[in-house]
Chain A
């Protein structure tokens, strides 16, 4: 069974702070996605990384895929209350199945 461990599980920070969320696995994935989910809604895709070592930026969010395609990180610069939510990484495996990480709940306060 492929497992994706995210850390930290929960993070509470003040507006303007920076943070990094990690997604680690012992398995290799063909691609890895990051999602954000708000309470009572489905996850929304933020980014997909495919190539080992790849870095993608989405405004204040920077995503990196590990060289061995087993891990990834999400860095948020100058966090805002609107960034609050559950962040999920997901690795793509066989038959289009996604394996979701354990999740990181982020709370950004004023």
Chain B
């Protein structure tokens, strides 16, 4: 199966600082990656679509200046949480789909648990 790797697995940061999360497709190229946020015991909420070489597409209600997305290569997308606050604490997960799977079977990273103190 396809492998998507996310780093770091967990991070603790102080309020007001920025945190960068990386999402890599290890054995396939992904022109599109997706970033989700998940609150405890809840489902995944799509935050944005990361597009290689162009601007990300954000879902309604997601602040693009708060959650900066960069997709500079076909195997790497980054999500930067800027000026983090405790309410940004959450589990962030990325996904990507190999082109030969019709772009509809998603493979997920391990997730990043962000705690802002």
B74: min CB distance to chain A, Å: 15
Q: How far is the CA of A48 from the CA of B18 in the complex (A)?
A: 37
A-B contact pairs, 5 of them (CB 8 A): A31-B104, A40-B91, A42-B4, A42-B6, A45-B106
3 tightest A-B contacts by CB?
A42-B108, A92-B104, A103-B43
A contact face: mostly helix, strand, loop, or mixed:
strand
Residue of A nearest to B6 (CB): A42
Which one of A14-22, A65-73, A75-83, A94-102 is at the B interface?
A94-102
A40-B113, A96-B32 known; A45+B44 contact, CB < 8 A: no
Interface residues of B (CB under 8 A from A): 1, 4, 6, 32, 34, 36, 41-46, 49, 91, 93, 95, 97, 102-111, 113
User: Which of B43, B106, B111 is A41 in contact with, Cβ under 8 Å?
Assistant: B111
- The reply to whether B43 and A100 contact each other, CB–CB distance below 8 Å, is yes
A48-B105, A96-B103, A96-B104 known; A42+B93 contact, CB < 8 A: yes
Q: How far is the CA of A69 from the CA of B34 in the complex (A)?
A: 24
User: Number of A-B pairs whose CB atoms are under 8 Å?
Assistant: 59
Residue of A nearest to B2 (CB): A45
**Interface-centre pick from A48, A92, A98, A103 (highest chain B CB count, 10 A):** A98
A5: min CB distance to chain B, Å: 11
**Is A44's beta carbon under 8 Å from chain B?**
yes
A82: min CB distance to chain B, Å: 19
- The reply to whether A48 and B108 contact each other, CB–CB distance below 8 Å, is no
User: Which of B6, B105, B110 is A45 in contact with, Cβ under 8 Å?
Assistant: B105
User: Which of B42, B43, B110 is A42 in contact with, Cβ under 8 Å?
Assistant: B110
Q: How far is the CA of A103 from the CA of B111 in the complex (A)?
A: 17
B102: min CB distance to chain A, Å: 8
- The reply to whether B43 and A33 contact each other, CB–CB distance below 8 Å, is no
Residue-wise, chain A 52-92 has the 8 Å CB interface mask toward B (1 for contact) of 00000000000000000000000000000000000010101
- The reply to whether B111 and A40 contact each other, CB–CB distance below 8 Å, is yes
